[in-house]
Amino acid sequence: MDHEQAVPPPRFLAEPLAARGVEIGTGLARCAQYNVGQACLKPAVLLAVDGPGFDELRDAARAEVAKTAARTMLTPGIHDAYTGNVRRMQDNGATRIGAGGAPAAAWEGQSLVYEVTGEQLLAEPAMREEVFGPFVLLVRLTGADQLREVARGFRGQLSASLHAEVRDHAIAQELLPILERRTGRIVINNFSMPQEVSHASVHTGPFPATSDSRFTSVGMSAIERFLRPVTYQNFPDELLPESLRETNPLHVWRLVDGELTRD
């Protein structure tokens, strides 16, 4: 069963930030507010290197969040956890830099953007934990070295997004082994949601993103999470399930002696 504790931390390098900081900031804020921030793959932490485009990204995210009215969350418990986690971020030194409309009724979640430095995130592990709801934490990094260090500090994630131009590929190659050990889904130059259900879909990751990273909960192979293997040894045909009988009366695809066949 998937835990809603860990979500994707998008990672942005210097080149795409300078080229399209506004586009990235706007897109990220929109994804973070989907379903009042109550989606497995909604981005929660944005790691961005300080430099050209950083302020534009920051301002675009704030402007997008400011347009959003507070909306009712799924349950009172989720709402209470959201407000409690926002307080946790504040208590640990995160600075509020943007907000949507204030709540007008019980259980409404207010969209928020907070900011910390890379040094703060490294010093306080609690800041790396998700705030499940319409919340984004912007992390201002000093450079690629700190980006790698911060990325290593995250635990299991459902997905991670990496925005990179061609000139960033050398740094991206250094980041990929770090991400591969921390997530089951890596997205380049896009956001991880919405997710298309297909044969290639993977919705998993190391703990605490999921309880068992060997299986996906979305996609054509998701059924494997609910299957338990049983061996039938020395059985007469009439006692076997139809799909296992010698004559294959259901004409299903089967693996026989290591080969896929419908015979």
Average pLDDT for residues 45-56, to the nearest whole number? Answer: 90
pLDDT tens figures, 146-180: 999 999 999 888 888 888 888 888 888 888 999 99
Asked if the model's pLDDT at residue 254 lies above 70, the reply is yes
8 A C-beta contact, residue 34 and residue 187? no
- The string of DSSP codes covering 98-131 is EE-PPP-STTEEPPEEEEEEHHHHHH-GGGGS--
Query: Pairing state of beta strands 71-72 and 108-109?
Result: antiparallel
**pTM (two decimals):** 0.80
Q: Which letter, b or e, does each residue of 58-79 get, where b requires 16 or more Cβ atoms within 10 Å of its Cβ? A: bbbbbebbeebebbebeeeebb
Asked if the model's pLDDT at residue 3 lies above 50, the reply is no
Determine the Cα angle at 206 with ends 200 and 207, to 5°: 135
8 A C-beta contact, residue 109 and residue 79? yes
Residues 109 and 48 in one domain: yes
Kindly state the tokens that stand for 26.
Answer: 């706007």
CA atoms within 13 A on the CB side of 182: 20
Kindly state the tokens that stand for 60.
Answer: 């675009």
3 state DSSP class of 163: strand
Residues 154 and 238 in one domain: no
Residues 15 and 110 in one domain: yes
8 A C-beta contact, residue 205 and residue 175? no
- State the residue range of the domain holding 242: 230-261
pLDDT tens figures, 74-101: 999 999 999 999 999 999 999 999 999 9
> Residue 70's domain is classified under what CATH number?
3.40.309.10
Q: Using pLDDT thresholds of 50, 70 and 90, give the confidence band for residue 206.
A: confident
Residues 162 and 35 in one domain: yes
Query: Which position has the higher pLDDT, 13 or 121?
Result: 121
Portion of the chain with pLDDT greater than 90, in percent: 51
CA 9 – CA 44 distance, rounded (Å): 6
CA 161 – CA 7 distance, rounded (Å): 11
Q: Of 188, 215, 245, which residue sits at a domain end?
A: 188
Backbone phi, then psi, for 126, in 5-degree steps? Answer: -60, -25
Place of tokens 């996906």: 216
Helix 144-152, helix 169-180: angle, nearest 10: 10
In this predicted structure, what is the pLDDT of residue 14? Answer: 65
pLDDT tens figures, 227-241: 888 999 999 999 999
Q: Is position 207 within any domain?
A: no
Number of domains in the chain: 2
Residues 37 and 99 in one domain: yes
Q: Of 130, 156, 188, which residue sits at a domain end?
A: 188
Name the residue among 150, 195, 148 with its Cα closest to residue 43.
Answer: 195
Place of tokens 């790396």: 128
Residues 33 and 126 in one domain: yes
